Amino acid sequence: MTELKTGGAQGYLRIATEEAFITQGVLDAYMRLVAEGFDDPGFASLWGFYSSSPSARGVQIRDGLLSLGTKRLADMDAAGIDKGIIALTAPGTHVFQADEAKALTTDANDQLAEACRAHPDRFVGMTAIAPADPAWSAREIQRGADLGFKAVILNGHVNGEYTDHEKYFPIFEAAEALGTPIYLHPQGPSKGLIAPLLERGLDGAVYGFGVDTGLHLLRLIVTGVFDRFPNLKLIVGHGGEALPYWSYRLDYMHAAGVRSNRYEFLKPLKLGAISAYLKTNVFVTFSGMAFPPAIRFCKEVLGMERIMYAMDYPYQYEPDEVSAQDDMELSPEDKRAFFQTNAERIFNL
């Protein structure tokens, strides 16, 4: 194994596309919600742990999230990461009432913009939004673009509501108009989904995140959000939240459901199959999924041009995974696309 270095000696730069941060303001507000017993079991499980756990993992995650400077840069250097595309961590400000959410979101975007200005070669930002106020969020997406951000972070459901509801469409409309992708990131499963996961400690990134986020993306597809916003670009992490692997059965059974009028609300989609949207509107990163067989599978199913590298800092800071992916069985051109050029094109860097 060669020493990991930035600068592209291996034939490509490494751009990590799903990296997280938090502001002290959001962290303090999470701690307040935890103390108040905020009624959201996914949030309570996630931030009840990460906001205060004295474990080595708890401390490392908080330190990493809070750093937009020295520590983050040193960790990126040690792992050979040239650029990090950084977003407010889950669940963002989705858990707050609109006024507090907007104030915290504005501040988070301002802080991230300042860090990106200070380290323009290393940091790229995503615009945080406050989906409790979709019209305001649409304006914040424009402000984010003006600040130089290259995507929008959507941290999953909004207090149990998924964003296929029409009231959230101003967010999609704004992103589509600007050509900026939306990164749909997991958070704890919604209240309606979480019970049997939580009962066995499976609600977090281990599985529940993927269940909730894959479901969220599927809902966006079958509701026709991409028919309404055909140029909307949506990015999901974790190898596509399992949907590529499921795509054959999704297509077959969705078509069968539509043909048989089983559900009055289930309408034919303009592109026909669910998988057609995965190949048209959706891009996939491999955050937390340093698994070459899955990467090669997604190449075959979605196309090499749709898949990207991510680390998932600080939640999965594993330099060994970077070297393992450097060494994976994939042509040099494909590796360059995976680590660098796809991200440059999709995020318009």
Question: In angstroms, what is the minimal distance from the CB of 289 to Ca ion?
Answer: 11
Q: Which is nearer to Ca ion, 312 or 321 (CB)?
A: 312
- Tell me the window of 103-111, 139-147, 149-157, 312-320 that interacts with Ca ion (CB under 5 A): 312-320
Question: In angstroms, what is the minimal distance from the CB of 138 to Ca ion?
Answer: 24
Question: In angstroms, what is the minimal distance from the CB of 86 to Ca ion?
Answer: 11
- Tell me the window of 15-23, 26-34, 223-231, 323-331 that interacts with Ca ion (CB under 5 A): 15-23
Q: Which is nearer to Ca ion, 19 or 326 (CB)?
A: 19
Question: In angstroms, what is the minimal distance from the CB of 117 to Ca ion?
Answer: 24
Indicate the residue whose CB is closest to Ca ion.
312
Question: In angstroms, what is the minimal distance from the CB of 84 to Ca ion?
Answer: 12
Question: In angstroms, what is the minimal distance from the CB of 17 to Ca ion?
Answer: 10
Q: Which is nearer to Ca ion, 229 or 313 (CB)?
A: 313
Residue count at the site for Ca ion (CB under 5 A)? 2
Binding Ca ion (rule: CB under 5 A), the pick from 133, 212, 312, 326 is 312
Q: Which is nearer to Ca ion, 18 or 176 (CB)?
A: 18
> What is the SS3 assignment for the chain?
CCCCCCCCCCCCCCEEEEEEECCHHHHHHHHHHHHHCCCCHHHHHHHHHHCCCCCHHHHHHHHHHHCCCHHHHHHHHHHCCCEEEEEECCCCCCCCCHHHHHHHHHHHHHHHHHHHHHCCCCEEEEEECCCCCHHHHHHHHHHHHHHCCCEEEECCCECCECCCCHHHHHHHHHHHHHCCCEEECCCCCCCCCCHHHHCCCCCCCCCHHHHHHHHHHHHHHHCCHHHHCCCCCEEECHHHHCHHHHHHHHHHHHHHHHHCCCCCCCCCCCCCCHHHHHCCCEEEECCCCCCHHHHHHHHHHHCHHHEECCCCCCCCCCHHHHHHHHCCCCCHHHHHHHHHHHHHHHCCC
Q: Which is nearer to Ca ion, 18 or 140 (CB)?
A: 18
Q: Which is nearer to Ca ion, 123 or 136 (CB)?
A: 123
Q: Which residues bind Ca ion (CB under 5 A)?
A: 18, 312
